[in-house]
Amino acid sequence: MDNLLLPYLSAENESDRQQRLEALLLVHAAPRIRKILRRRLGLFVTAQGVNEQNNDAEDLYQETMTKIAQALHDLSTLPGQADIKDFSKYVNRVTVNVCIDFLRSKSPERTRLKDSLRDLFKRHEELVAWMHQGEILCGFVIWRNTGKTFFSEQQPADLEGRMDSFRAARFPHEDITRAPITQVIAELFDWLGGPIEIDALVAMMAVLLGLQEQRIESLDDESRISREAHFLASAVRSDSDARTKELLTLLWDSVKRFPAAQRDVFCLSFEDLDGQDIFTLLLSNDVITVTELARDLGRSIEEIILLSERIPMDSETVARELKVARSNVYKLRFRAIQKLKSQPFLVTKIKLP
């Protein structure tokens, strides 16, 4: 049994158990669910599981939370339930399965394409799929058990443009939809130069084969900056707590000097790859105190505490909070990120997209 679950399972009364259940769901499960919904489906929900512009996002978040809560309840009340060895991995698996079911209902053609690709990797001796850090990657056999390509990691928004470039490079005078799928896959892997997550491959092949299906409502203009946000979130991660604190200190020193509008938009919308907001990152890593944070943002401590319960926000919520047009939110955030990307401490941290 995961040690994280032991306090919940050993609670002395129902009230105590309920409190510990809520902590497991909100502190440990929710950030992972939000991260996976955003990465796999492009669906955003706030830290409270809200997206007033997209019912699918809220429904999937609540469905996942309900499944996990029910599993924990069964674990504490029903004898013979299988242990949860790793709660984080369990949350990931439940969320991914919810995403898969959703995609199947929205995109049956893509589901069939994915199934056919899986079958191809089993049958073809030069192609293979494998598990790597909780994801299914695929590529040539010689790439087995290696990580994703940089291209795959970035998940560029301009997928059609990328695939136009691939067609021009590898099938300039041929109808790619009539070419053998094994040839297309092999040429695509060679063009990418490294392994890719299978869902990203399915998305590419869907574009190349011209599959037209019901569009999943996503982040709209949010997706335009997803690559930039991924870059920035990656830049403040480190294997060392001391290094993470150093990077966050440098980051905040830059952010607090922005014009107020840029600074506020950045702070209210930022989240790292685990779904944590900028306030949590700064305070939990002892970069700054609540008093200092309030001073730097020109707000009272009470306002900071109230904001901390609502961030990270999507663009619509940020616009309402700051009383600006939604289009201005995108511009201000983009400019803030571009300024940060020019900073030496970020440029030297990771390879720029």
- Whether the Cβ atoms of residue 190 and residue 316 lie closer than 8 Å to each other: no
pLDDT digits (tens, 9 = 90+) for 164-187: 899 999 999 899 999 999 999 999
How far apart (Å, rounded) are the C-alpha atoms in residues 170 and 187? 7
Looking at the whole model, is its pTM more than 0.85? no
* Peptide bond before residue 312 is cis, with ω within 30 degrees of 0: yes
**Residue in this structure with the two tokens 């909780």, named with its chain if needed:** 134
Helix H, strand E, coil C: the string for 42-104 is CCCCCCCCCCCCCHHHHHHHHHHHHHHHHHHHHHHHCCCCCCCCCHHHHHHHHHHHHHHHHHH
pLDDT digits (tens, 9 = 90+) for 229-280: 444 555 555 556 777 788 888 889 989 999 999 999 999 988 765 567 888 8
* Residue-range domain boundaries for the chain: 3-106, 109-209, 220-347
Q: Is the pLDDT of residue 324 over 80?
A: yes
Would you call 271 helix, strand, or coil by DSSP? Answer: strand
Of the given ranges (25-34, 172-181, 224-233), which has the lowest mean pLDDT?
224-233
Q: What is the pLDDT of residue 223?
A: 42
Q: Confidence class of residue 284 from pLDDT cuts 50, 70 and 90?
A: confident
Ranges assigned E (strand) in 141-296: 196-197
- Whether the Cβ atoms of residue 339 and residue 254 lie closer than 8 Å to each other: yes
How far apart (Å, rounded) are the C-alpha atoms in residues 105 and 321? 35
Mean pLDDT of the chain: 81
